[in-house]
A and B are shown apart, each in its own frame.
Chain A
Amino acid sequence: MSISVLGIGTVSALGCGIDTVREGLEGKARPVIEEHNISFTDGEALLKVYKASINGLDRYVARPALRRIDRFNQMALLSSFLAIDDSGIIPEDRERIGIVFGSGYGPLQTTFSFLDSLIDFGDRCASPTLFANSVHNSLASQASILLKIQGPCLTISCFEQTTCSVMSTAISWLREGIVDYVLAGVGDESCDVRSYATLLLGGGGCSEINPLSFDECSYLYGEGFVVFLLGVGTTDRGYCNLISAETGENEVSGDHEILFLAANGDKETGRFYRPLINNRGRVRAYSPLYGGMPVGNGFDIAIAALSLKEGVVYPLPLLAPLLAPLQAPVPGEISSGITVVPEQIDNNTGNARISCVGFDGNGNYSLITLAK
Chain B
Amino acid sequence: MKTSFACITGLGCICAAGISLKAIMPVLYTGKRNPSAPSNFRADIDKTSPVFEIAWSLPADPSANNASRTSLLALAAAMEALEHAHLDNMILKKKRVGVVIGTTVGCTLNNEPFYRAYRDKKNPEVSPIKRFLINNTALYVAGFYNCSGPAVTIANACSSGTDAVGLAKSWIENDICDIVIAGGADELCRTTYLGFTSLLITSQEPCRPFDRNRKGLNLGEGAGIVIVESNRSVKERGVQVIAYVKGYGSSGDAHHPTAPHPGGSGLRRAIDIAMRDSGSKVNEIEFINAHGTSTMDNDKVEGKVIANMFPNSVPVVSTKSYTGHTLGAAGGIEAVLTVQALVDRQIPATAGFEEYDPECAITPTTKNTPIKSGTAISNSLAFGGNNSVLVIGMEHA
Touch A–B, Cβ below 8 Å: yes
Give chain B interface residues in 124-159, CB to chain A under 8 Å.
125-126, 129-130, 133, 136, 138-139, 143, 148-157
Give chain A interface residues in 105-129, CB to chain B under 8 Å.
105-106, 108, 111-112, 114-116, 118-119, 122-124, 126-128
> Distance (Å) between the CB of A242 and the closest chain B CB?
15
Query: Are A108 and B150 interface neighbours, CB within 8 A?
Result: no
Query: Are B119 and A119 interface neighbours, CB within 8 A?
Result: yes
- Please tell me which one of the listed residues B252, B255, B266 contacts residue A99 in the complex, with CB atoms under 8 A apart: B252
Query: Are B195 and A131 interface neighbours, CB within 8 A?
Result: yes
Query: Are B109 and A150 interface neighbours, CB within 8 A?
Result: no
Give the most central of A95, A131, A153: most B CB within 10 Å.
Answer: A153
Q: Is A201 close to B, CB under 8 A?
A: yes
Q: Is B258 close to A, CB under 8 A?
A: yes
Query: Are A248 and B148 interface neighbours, CB within 8 A?
Result: yes
Q: Is A144 close to B, CB under 8 A?
A: yes
Alpha-carbon separation in the docked complex, A138 to B250 (Å): 17
A137 and B156 contact, Cβ closer than 8 Å, known pairs A105-B109, A123-B43, A169-B167? yes
Complex interface bits, B93-111 against A, C-beta within 8 A gives 1, otherwise 0 = 0000000000010011110
Query: Are B151 and A151 interface neighbours, CB within 8 A?
Result: no
Q: Is A80 close to B, CB under 8 A?
A: no
Q: Is B194 close to A, CB under 8 A?
A: yes
State how many residues of chain B have any CB contact under 8 Å with chain A: 69
Alpha-carbon separation in the docked complex, A143 to B307 (Å): 31
- Please tell me which one of the listed residues B43, B123, B129, B254 contacts residue A144 in the complex, with CB atoms under 8 A apart: B254
Complex interface bits, B32-60 against A, C-beta within 8 A gives 1, otherwise 0 = 00000000000111100000000000000
Q: Is A264 close to B, CB under 8 A?
A: no
Query: Are A362 and B121 interface neighbours, CB within 8 A?
Result: no
Selecting from B84-92, B298-306, B379-387, the interface stretch reads: B379-387
Give chain B interface residues in 199-217, CB to chain A under 8 Å.
199-200
Give chain B interface residues in 167-219, CB to chain A under 8 Å.
167, 170, 173-174, 176, 191, 194-200
Query: Are A153 and B383 interface neighbours, CB within 8 A?
Result: no
> Distance (Å) between the CB of B10 and the closest chain A CB?
23
Residue of B nearest to A123 (CB): B44
Alpha-carbon separation in the docked complex, A166 to B189 (Å): 27
Alpha-carbon separation in the docked complex, A178 to B194 (Å): 37
- Please tell me which one of the listed residues B119, B153, B256, B265 contacts residue A158 in the complex, with CB atoms under 8 A apart: B153
**Size class of A's contact patch?**
35 or more
Query: Are B252 and A151 interface neighbours, CB within 8 A?
Result: yes
Residue of B nearest to A131 (CB): B195
Query: Are A111 and B46 interface neighbours, CB within 8 A?
Result: no
Residue of A nearest to B194 (CB): A126
Residue of B nearest to A101 (CB): B155
Query: Are B198 and A126 interface neighbours, CB within 8 A?
Result: yes
Query: Are A154 and B163 interface neighbours, CB within 8 A?
Result: yes
- Please tell me which one of the listed residues A40, A158, A200 contacts residue B151 in the complex, with CB atoms under 8 A apart: A158
Alpha-carbon separation in the docked complex, A148 to B265 (Å): 13
Please give, as numbers and ranges, the residues of chain B lying within 8 Å of A172 by CB-CB distance: 170, 174
Please give, as numbers and ranges, the residues of chain A lying within 8 Å of B385 by CB-CB distance: 141, 144-145, 153
A247 and B150 contact, Cβ closer than 8 Å, known pairs A39-B121, A127-B198? yes
> Distance (Å) between the CB of B189 and the closest chain A CB?
12
A126 and B195 contact, Cβ closer than 8 Å, known pairs A112-B115, A249-B148? yes
Query: Are B257 and A145 interface neighbours, CB within 8 A?
Result: yes
Query: Are B152 and A124 interface neighbours, CB within 8 A?
Result: no
Q: Is B367 close to A, CB under 8 A?
A: no
Give the most central of A115, A142, A157: most B CB within 10 Å.
Answer: A157
Q: Is A41 close to B, CB under 8 A?
A: yes
Please give, as numbers and ranges, the residues of chain A lying within 8 Å of B107 by CB-CB distance: 106, 136, 157-158
Please give, as numbers and ranges, the residues of chain B lying within 8 Å of A157 by CB-CB distance: 107, 136, 153, 155
Q: Is A90 close to B, CB under 8 A?
A: no
Q: Is B253 close to A, CB under 8 A?
A: yes
Q: Is A369 close to B, CB under 8 A?
A: no
Q: Is A168 close to B, CB under 8 A?
A: yes
Please, could you name 18 A-B residue pairs with CB atoms under 8 Å apart, sorted by A?
A40-B121, A99-B252, A124-B46, A132-B199, A135-B383, A142-B384, A145-B384, A149-B252, A150-B266, A152-B252, A154-B386, A156-B155, A159-B133, A161-B139, A168-B150, A172-B170, A201-B130, A247-B151
Given A155-B154, A172-B170, 9 more A-B residue pairs with CB atoms under 8 Å apart are A95-B269, A118-B194, A124-B46, A134-B108, A144-B385, A145-B254, A161-B152, A176-B170, A193-B109
B interface list, Cβ under 8 A from A: 43-46, 104, 107-110, 112, 115-116, 118-119, 121-123, 125-126, 129-130, 133, 136, 138-139, 143, 148-157, 163, 167, 170, 173-174, 176, 191, 194-200, 250-258, 265-266, 269, 273, 382-386, 388
List the 10 shortest-distance A-B pairs measured between CB atoms, nearest first: A141-B384, A131-B195, A136-B155, A152-B250, A200-B126, A128-B198, A153-B252, A123-B44, A157-B155, A126-B194
